[in-house]
Amino acid sequence: MRTRPVDDVIAEVEAQREAGLEFQFFLDYVFGINRPFYTEVCARMRGRGIGWVGQTRAEIVLKNDVTAWAEAGCQGMWLGAESPAVAGTGVHKRVSEKQVRDAVLKLRDAGITPFAFILLGLPDDEACMSDWLVDWAAGIPAWFGINQLFLRPGTSLYDGLAARYNGGAVPETWEAVEEVTRRYRQGYPADLDDQERRLTRLPNYLGNAILPVG
C-alpha cells in the first residue's frame, strides 16, 4: 500500500470545503489498514465540522478504534461484505459471516451508519446458490447496495473463466468480454435476476431509502 502525505490529504479536504463541500467521501477501499497513517488523518480531521463517508473491510473495522473515526466526522462506512459465504468462493477473501456482522454492529454502536456491498453471482457461492443470501441481507443491521458479478479483464477470476465462456479462446473485444459475463450469469445455478428483484424490495436496500416521496 502507498500512502500520501497527511498534509496533502488535509489540504484537499480543506480545498473541497472552501469550494462548498461540507460532506465528503474518502475513496479508499481499505480505510484504516495502516493504523498510524489513518490515526493521524482522523486526528487532523477532528473539529473541522466536515462529515464524511468511507469504505473498508470488516476485518479492518474489527482491528480499529472506530469511535475515533466518528469523532473525526465519519457518518457512514461501506463494507465489502459481498456474501456471508464469500470465504468459500475462491476470491481470496477470508471473511466470515460473523466478522461482517460484528463489524456492522461495531460501526453502528460508534454512531457510524453501516453500509454493505453485496455481490450476486460469485463462483461457488453457497449463499447465493441456496437462496440464503436474500435472507441474510434482510437480517443484516445495515443498509446495503447490490451488483451482479461482472468478469473484469486483468483479474484472476476473469483469467480463470473467460476462455471457458468464449469457446476456449481469450476474448479480444469488449463486446466479447460482455458476452462472457452474460453467458456466465446465464449458466449460474441460481436465478440472479430474481434474487436481485427480491433484494431490491427489502426495506434496508439503500435504493428504498432514497426514493422520492409521493
Spell out the domains of the chain, with CATH numbers in brackets: 6-150+191-208 (3.20.20.70)
Angle at alpha carbon of residue 83, lines to 201 and 29, rounded to 5°: 105
Average pLDDT over residues 84-88: 92
For residue 137, what pLDDT band results from cuts at 50, 70 and 90? Answer: very high
pLDDT at 1: 74
18-to-15, 21, 22, 48, 49 alpha-carbon distances in Å: 5, 7, 9, 12, 12
Q: Which of 129, 79, 121 is nearest to 102 (CA)?
A: 79
How much is the pLDDT for 142?
96
Lowest mean pLDDT among 22-36, 159-173, 180-194: 159-173
Q: What pLDDT is attached to residue 92?
A: 79
Q: What is the pLDDT of residue 211?
A: 57
| pLDDT band (50, 70, 90) for residue 163 | confident
Strands (E), the chain: 23-25, 51-56, 74-82, 113-120, 143-148
Do residues 51 and 73 make contact, with C-beta atoms less than 8 angstroms apart? yes
- E strand residue ranges, 38-178: 51-56, 74-82, 113-120, 143-148
pTM (2 decimals)? 0.90
